[in-house]
Amino acid sequence: MIGRLNHVAIAVPDLDAASAQYKNTLGANVGAPQDEPDHGVTVVFIELPNTKIELLYPLGDNSPIAGFLEKNPAGGIHHICYEVDDILAARDKLKAEGARVLGSGEPKIGAHGKPVLFLHPKDFNGCLVELEQV
């Protein structure tokens, strides 16, 4: 059901410093910051030959990333994102298998302009999983 790895998301306490590190130290192709108010984050995508890194920074008072950074002040891996062909079919299959879909269970539009869902980390070995329809 899952396709390729779309991205690995890393929560960071300083978006400018993290972006500069990837650009200047690692020589990566770093995109511009992009506010995603529906998700409570500002994101920066780093393009790699085989996938992407998504830097996450809190946006707004109710950002889920703010809570993550309180527990992990230096930042860290927040989630991994897999591609799926049909997000509703994937959701229904996962729910039938006992997986918990976070939020309302309905897809939201993600940073790439495509439908996304998040799956509870307790159902996936402690890892928050994002599914993105391609």
For residue 114, the domain's CATH number is: 3.10.180.10
pTM: 0.94
pLDDT score for 97: 96
pLDDT score for 56: 98
Contact 56, 36 (CB under 8 A): no
Into how many domains does the chain fold? Answer: 1
pLDDT score for 25: 97
pLDDT score for 119: 98
Q: Which residue has the tokens 């779309």?
A: 6
**Consecutive H or E run containing 67:** helix 64-71
Active site residues: 130
In angstroms, how far is CA 64 from the centroid of its own chain?
11
Q: How far is CA 46 from CA 8, 20, 27, 29, 43, in A?
A: 10, 11, 10, 6, 10
pLDDT beneath 50, residues of the chain: none
Which residues form the domain of 86? Answer: 2-133
